[in-house]
């Protein structure tokens, strides 16, 4: 299926593109042709006939599972889950200070889909989990070159998460076979975690005592303190990224919009590792807040859409939105407090400046 021409492309090879906000907010389940793309190398050519998924490491029985076995020997499960790139909203960090060498994502590196496939826990139980295994590590088939070496793309999650019902080896997206750009024939889907943990073109699962030592787990996708830079950073001091933080984005109106109506229906999305419980909107710098209406709250691992009617006089205004989850976690007030030289995990209050005429 060709991608929608309105996607905002940053690179074509590898393909990195996000969804325009107005199109993103039109569909609670993001159409496949509008779903964002995050890749670190070219889409690999997969030999479907001879495909085998290796399950190894701290297991009782190593497995080599064919496509047919994965699709027919394990119960098919469906989970609705929102995937978000860890660099979503990076552009707002770049406004504070440069973030060199990273894709300048706006707020559309996110999408919600229904994913169908085998539960990871069913496959691990078939292999038998040895005592002491603490992580499930994944490797994809893509070639990714860093510093002159093919490091591939790998990631890991804690064994407790791997054994949760929602973690899938997906072969369908929105009820249709998974497309190559999104990881066919199989990808991991880890709801509630950053998108980088949902490894595409899956070839290996290894149970082990420690997290993956792949470049993208051990080096690239890490959170460093604001004072660190690429020149001064201690690469062993980073925090490995896993769970999503509470986040909230205004999708309408957008930055620098000029609107004619003084009554605005402000719209957006919110998400986190837990369900969203409340979204607040402010038009006076956070002095006072109004509560938005939450939409589509039935799915545990999906984003929430929200809307709020506000009244604005003529002139320039800044609209602010923040979210709370069911554990009362919320967002930091200012993006300067979460700035980091990799530009990850910006979940500061979302601010949009507009003009009413």
Q: How confident is the model over 168-212, as pLDDT tens digits? A: 999 999 999 999 999 999 999 999 999 999 999 999 999 999 999
Query: Average model confidence (pLDDT) for the chain?
Result: 96
Position 12 scores a pLDDT of 95
List of residues 6+ apart from 5 with CB closer than 8 A: none
Q: How far apart are CA 312 and CA 258, in angstroms?
A: 12
Answer whether the bond into residue 324 is a cis peptide, omega within 30°. Answer: no
Position 293 scores a pLDDT of 98
Cβ atoms of 305 and 347 within 8 Å: the answer is no
* Local confidence band at 297 (pLDDT 50, 70, 90 cut-offs): confident
Q: Please state the rounded mean pLDDT for residues 247-270.
A: 94
Cβ atoms of 65 and 122 within 8 Å: the answer is no
Q: Please state the rounded mean pLDDT for residues 87-112.
A: 97
Count, residues in the chain:
357
Could you give the percent of the chain with pLDDT greater than 90?
Answer: 94
* Local confidence band at 230 (pLDDT 50, 70, 90 cut-offs): confident
| Dihedral over Cα of 237, 241, 244, 247: its sign | positive
Position 33 scores a pLDDT of 97
Q: Please state the rounded mean pLDDT for residues 52-69.
A: 98
Q: What does the DSSP 8-state code read for residue 34? A: G
Is it the case that residue 237 has pLDDT exceeding 90?
no
Q: What does the DSSP 8-state code read for residue 218? A: I
Position 296 scores a pLDDT of 83
Which helix (DSSP H) or strand (DSSP E) does residue 249 occupy? strand 247-252
Is it the case that residue 3 has pLDDT exceeding 80?
yes
Is it the case that residue 108 has pLDDT exceeding 80?
yes
Going by C-alpha positions, the residue among 304, 253, 295 that lies closest to residue 275 is 304
What's the pLDDT tens digit per position in 339-352? 999 999 999 999 99
Position 280 scores a pLDDT of 98
* Local confidence band at 131 (pLDDT 50, 70, 90 cut-offs): very high
Is it the case that residue 45 has pLDDT exceeding 90?
yes
Q: How far apart are CA 266 and CA 264, in angstroms?
A: 6
Which token pair is 159? Answer: 């064994």
Q: Please state the rounded mean pLDDT for residues 94-104.
A: 96
Is it the case that residue 63 has pLDDT exceeding 70?
yes
Backbone angles phi, psi at 239, to 5 degrees: -100, 125
Position 235 scores a pLDDT of 86
Position 1 scores a pLDDT of 60
Which token pair is 108? Answer: 């559309």
Is it the case that residue 130 has pLDDT exceeding 70?
yes
| Dihedral over Cα of 218, 201, 32, 67: its sign | negative
Q: Please state the rounded mean pLDDT for residues 68-84.
A: 98
């Amino acid at each position: 299926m060709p991608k929608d021409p309105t996607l905002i492309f940053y690179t074509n090879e590898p393909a990195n593109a996000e969804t325009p906000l107005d199109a993103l907010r039109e569909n609670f389940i993001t159409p496949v042709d509008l779903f964002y793309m995050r890749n670190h190398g070219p889409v690999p050519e997969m030999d479907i006939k001879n495909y085998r998924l290796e399950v190894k490491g701290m297991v009782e029985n190593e497995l080599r599972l064919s496509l047919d076995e994965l699709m027919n020997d394990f119960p098919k499960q469906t989970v609705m889950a929102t995937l978000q790139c860890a660099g979503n909203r990076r552009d707002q960090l770049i406004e504070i200070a440069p973030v060199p060498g990273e894709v300048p994502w706006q707020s559309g590196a996110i999408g919600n889909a229904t994913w169908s496939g085998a539960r990871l826990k069913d496959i691990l139980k078939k292999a038998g989990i040895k005592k002491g295994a603490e992580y499930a590590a994944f490797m994809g088939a893509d070639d990714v070159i860093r510093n002159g070496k093919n490091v591939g793309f790998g990631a890991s999650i804690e064994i407790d998460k791997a054994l949760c019902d929602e973690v899938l080896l997906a072969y369908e997206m929105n009820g249709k076979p998974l497309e190559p750009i999104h990881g066919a024939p199989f990808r991991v889907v880890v709801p509630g975690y950053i998108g980088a943990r949902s490894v595409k073109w899956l070839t290996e699962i290894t149970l082990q005592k420690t997290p993956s030592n792949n470049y993208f787990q051990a080096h690239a996708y890490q959170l460093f303190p604001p004072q660190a830079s690429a020149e001064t950073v201690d690469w062993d001091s980073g925090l490995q990224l896993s769970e999503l933080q509470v986040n909230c984005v205004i999708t309408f109106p957008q930055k620098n919009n000029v609107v004619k109506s003084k009554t605005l229906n402000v719209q957006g999305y919110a998400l986190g590792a837990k369900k969203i419980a409340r979204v607040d909107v402010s038009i006076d710098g956070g002095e006072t807040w109004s509560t938005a209406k939450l939409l589509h709250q039935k799915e545990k691992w999906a984003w929430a859409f929200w809307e709020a009617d506000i009244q604005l006089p003529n002139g320039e205004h800044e609209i602010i939105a923040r979210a709370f989850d069911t554990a009362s976690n919320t967002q930091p007030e200012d993006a300067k407090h979460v700035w980091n030289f990799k530009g990850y995990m910006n979940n500061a209050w979302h601010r949009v400046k507009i003009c009413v005429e």
